[in-house]
Structure 1
Amino acid sequence: MARRKLGVIGGSGLYAVDGLTEAAWHRVETPWGAPSDDLFCGLLDELEMVFLPRHGRGHVHSPSDVPYRANIDALKRLGVTDVISVSACGSFREEMKPGDFVIVDQFIDRTIARDKSFFGAGCVAHVSMAHPVCGTLGSVCATAAQAAGVTVHEGGTYLAMEGPQFSTLAESVMYRDQWGCSVIGMTNMPEAKLAREAELCYASVAMVTDYDCWHPDHDAVEVADILRVLTANAEAARAMITELPTLLGPEHAPCPQGCGTALEYALITAPDARDPEVLKKLDAVAGRVLSGPSD
């Protein structure tokens, strides 16, 4: 059984985690450029952890500019087995209130200006995104958040918008009433797709900051209000993270959902037709299948 190493990607408001020992910031080079920031590596109790602030310390990357491929590659390169994405979101559901956490289990991707795959010309691959998150890891996150005193909703569809502007009223109503979405955010796509391509267990913890603009009593999203909730949510997220070592344990068993073998039959390009320069860039995310007997 493999040793578990947990990666946490912190969203708006969460730029650091507390309680890590033997901890230090490490710069990681990737074939896809520099990650959002250096990665903070250490031990939380006995669990190895790597923390990456998605927007960088000081919030220097907008949602469209986040180097998603470099971030996931860097985590994989450091030996991460599980990734928990923590991000701010707006709510389309009355019962999903500001301050609540939603354990997302589906996505609708409306982003249009981002590189969404490690694969392409020279090495084509198609992974399944029917069930885009790891249910096992998501359940652990729900338990950890509840233990931290957070109101948690298990299951919900996350609408990923391009941003950085917030929704129009027409969009907000459509996403809620016609598309049946639960929450809206700007960063979980293509992050979840790339994590699947890298054969990582991935769970999304969406922290509600507001009701978007569909709600008759919240008809405009005010940044000042969001920032107040963000601060409280960040503290709750840190409390959730401290619960994870006991719940996860130090060993990483094979994922029952198959996250760790997502590329098993995904590579379409014949071995003798694959571009060697492309393969060099895939050494971390796809090394298991590129060096295996399936070639």
Structure 2
Amino acid sequence: MKTMIGVIGGSGIYEMDGLKNAEWQTVSGPWGAPSDQILTGSLNGVDMAFLPRHGRGHVHSPTTVPYRANIDALKRIGVTDVISVSACGSLNAEMAPGEFVIVDQFIDRTFAREKSFFGDGCVAHVSVAHPTCPRLSDACETAATDTGIKVHRGGTYLAMEGPQFSSLAESKMYQSWGCDVIGMTNMPEAKLAREAELCYASVAMITDFDCWHPDHGAVDVADVIRTLTQNAGKARSLISKLPNLLGAERAPCPHECDRALEFAIMTAPEKRDPAVLAKLDAIAGRVLS
């Protein structure tokens, strides 16, 4: 199998120097249109795909990002490994603005989003005990270190609905739960990637200390954008190193991310809705065929 790295990111993350045969592709699927066209090409002999999570020009809020369509589109064009790059606030005094965190756990506090490809007509229960891929996270950590980025390996990401930032009481509560960073976009993205049997790694770029820090006060959007711009350059450098680390040939994932649906589908074959199965062709075709 050939490796294809899919990067889901914000402004400045979907453009890459040295990308060969770069082309914006329109990808359609049964879950609606993804956030934007997908930029495809190759970097150092490895196929790449870049999807702007909010759309170019930032037209989707965290709540209205079409998460299912995004993951389906990436799987449909052959992506094997998804790197999520996103801005976040820090709830941990040891993780400062300008630094990166390779997230390994999530607490999902979103409530206004569709969170699964499955439901009536085809029920499935996928484990997200370990929602990120250690193999892919290893590559991201190595790439960050080689780039000179200060990176923290491991951290819990609190996914909030947004679009407002936290109240002080909320920020302190999430901190008391042991959360390290807070953002609005990694859920249900990580859950859907697991359902699609895609390896998923989350690179969280810290822009601020949320509002809990006594020396920093409330989140200042101007400061966030300034740090975000600086982080985008670091992220592009990190991504540029991934093709050499992951290689062009893709072996089965040793952590079985690519076999997450093996025993997940509960609905008896004769009770499955053909219309639902048709929508799952890219996501679950391996186990439904």
TM bucket normalised to smaller: over 0.9
User: In the alignment, residue 209 of structure 1 is paired with which amino acid?
Assistant: T
Listed as ranges, the matches of 1:83-122 within 5 Å are: 83-122=82-121
**Secondary structure of 1:6's match?**
strand
- The C-alpha deviation readout for 1:105-149, integer Å capped at 9, x for no partner, is 000000000000000000000000000100110010010011111
Shift of 1:16: 2.5
- Kept in 2, the 8 Å contact 1:16–1:53? The answer is no
Number of residue pairs aligned between Structure 1 and Structure 2? 289
Deviation at 1:12, TM superposition (A): 5.2
Secondary structure of the corresponding residue to residue 171 of structure 2:
helix
Separation in structure 2 between the aligned mates of residue 247 and residue 229 of structure 1, nearest angstrom: 27
Q: Letter of the 2:249 partner, please give it.
A: E
Aligned-partner Cα distance in 2 for 1:191–1:18? 26
- Distance (whole Å) between structure 2 residues aligned to residue 242 and residue 157 of structure 1: 26
- Bigger drift between 49-58 and 5-14 goes to 5-14
1:248 and 2:246 correspond = yes
More off after superposition, 250-259 vs 185-194: 250-259
One-letter amino acid of the counterpart of residue 81, structure 1: T
- For 2:267, the equivalent position in structure 1 comes to 269
**Unpaired stretches in structure 2, ≥5 consecutive residues:** none
Q: How big is the alpha-carbon RMSD for the aligned residues of Structure 1 and Structure 2? A: 0.8
TM normalised by structure 1 equals 0.97
Cα deviations across residues 64-86 of structure 1 (Å, max 9, x unaligned)? Answer: 00000000000000010000000
Moved over 6 A (4+): none
1:228-274 CA distances to partner (integer Å, 9 max, x unpaired)? 00000000000001111111111111111110000000000000000
Relative distance call for 1:59 and 1:231 in structure 2 (3 A) is: same
Amino acid at match of 2:236: R
Return the alpha-carbon distance in structure 2 between the equivalents of residues 280 and 17 of structure 1: 35
1:141 aligns with 2:140: yes
Partner of 1:47: 46
| TM, length-normalised to structure 2 | 0.99
Tell me the distance in 1 between the aligned counterparts of 2:274 and 2:49. 30
Distance (Å, rounded) in 2 between the aligned partners of 1:212 and 1:61: 22
The residue number in structure 1 matching 2:75 is: 76
Report whether the alignment pairs 1:202 with 2:200: yes
Superposition pairs of residues 216-295 of structure 1, within 5 angstroms: 216-291=214-289
1:128–1:279 Cα change, 3 Å = same
Give the Cα–Cα distance (whole angstroms) in 2 for the partners of residues 258 and 18 of structure 1. Answer: 32
Residue in structure 2 matched with residue 32 of structure 1 by the alignment: 31
Unaligned runs of 5+ in 1: none
Could you give the per-residue CA deviations for residues 149-172 of structure 1, whole angstroms, max 9, x where no partner exists?
A: 100000000000000000000000
Contact 1:13–1:230, Cα closer than 8 Å, also in 2: no
Cα contact 1:15–1:57 (8 A) shared by 2: no
CA distance in 1, matches of 2:189, 2:18: 26
Between the aligned residues of both structures, percent identity stands at 71
Cα drift, residue 13 of structure 1: 5.2
Question: Secondary structure of the equivalent of 2:42?
Answer: strand
> Quick one: distance in 2 between partners of 1:243 and 1:133?
19
Aligned partner of 2:167 in structure 1 is: 168
**Secondary structure at 1:83 match in 2:** strand
